[in-house]
Amino acid sequence: MPSFDLVSKVDLQTLDNAINTVHKEISNRFDFKGSHVVIELNKKDFIVNLEADSDMKLGQIRDVLISRGMKQGLAAEIYDFSKEPQQSGKVVKQVIPVRNGIKQEDAKKIVKIIKDSGLKVQVAIMDDIIRVTGKKIDDLQEVIQASKGWDLGLALQFINMKS
């Protein structure tokens, strides 16, 4: 039976390259000359730490982070901007977790959406992977097309397609 896996994975090397590109661009910008700027990636925990002089500069760094990440092939949804920046003395700090993998509650939402769509496919949750199986490959392609319209806040990839 044809099947594919639905995942939300972030390639660590691509993310590291994007962070390095952001750091290089920010250090060369005129409006950041002489400013306190820290952009670092905790590779073990998939966390991006940002520090800047003001909220405005922090916002500009976030914008560059998203645009450079998208040019590297990373979706904007991988960054979790839900935590507010904190003022720490003269600098503003923000910790941005990178979403890597599908959480259990998100997986259950996706399974419910697929089952409610009425398509003739079976869905199984396997850790942070969702396997979709169907009798016809056309049914699987319909699931892929439908998933592009879902607004889950996740960057989904479709891997391991077997027919």
Structural domain ending residue among the three candidates 44, 66, 97: 97
The CA R_g of the chain, rounded to the nearest whole Å, is 19
The DSSP code for 89 is: T
81 and 125 housed in the same domain:
no
The whole domain housing 52 covers 12-97
Q: What is the mean pLDDT of the chain?
A: 91
Helix (H) or strand (E) holding 146: helix 137-147
pLDDT tens, 136-161? 888 888 888 888 888 888 888 888 88
pLDDT of residue 123: 92
Q: Are 7 and 156 in contact (CB under 8 A)?
A: yes
What's the rounded Cα separation, in Å, for the pair 93 and 46? 17
pLDDT of residue 146: 86
- Predicted confidence band at 132 (pLDDT cuts at 50, 70, 90)? very high
Question: Within 10 A of 18 (CB to CB), how many other CB atoms are there?
Answer: 25
38 and 91 housed in the same domain:
yes
* CB neighbour list of residue 67: distance below 8 Å, 6 or more residues apart: none
Mean pLDDT over 57-73 rounds to 94
Mean pLDDT over 85-90 rounds to 88
Q: What is the CATH number of the domain that holds 58?
A: 3.30.70.990
What's the rounded Cα separation, in Å, for the pair 23 and 26? 5
The DSSP code for 88 is: E
pLDDT of residue 152: 82
107 and 90 housed in the same domain:
no
What's the rounded Cα separation, in Å, for the pair 85 and 62? 11
Mean pLDDT over 125-142 rounds to 90
pLDDT of residue 156: 87
What is the count of structural domains for the chain? 2
23 and 80 housed in the same domain:
yes
What's the rounded Cα separation, in Å, for the pair 94 and 57? 12
> What percent of the chain stands above pLDDT 90?
56
pLDDT tens, 17-43? 999 999 999 999 998 888 899 999 999
105 and 93 housed in the same domain:
no
Taken as a whole, the chain contains a residue count of: 163
Residue 45: C-alpha distances to residues 20, 63, 97, 133, 150 (Å): 17, 22, 8, 32, 27
39 and 51 housed in the same domain:
yes
16 and 87 housed in the same domain:
yes
17 and 75 housed in the same domain:
yes
17 and 91 housed in the same domain:
yes
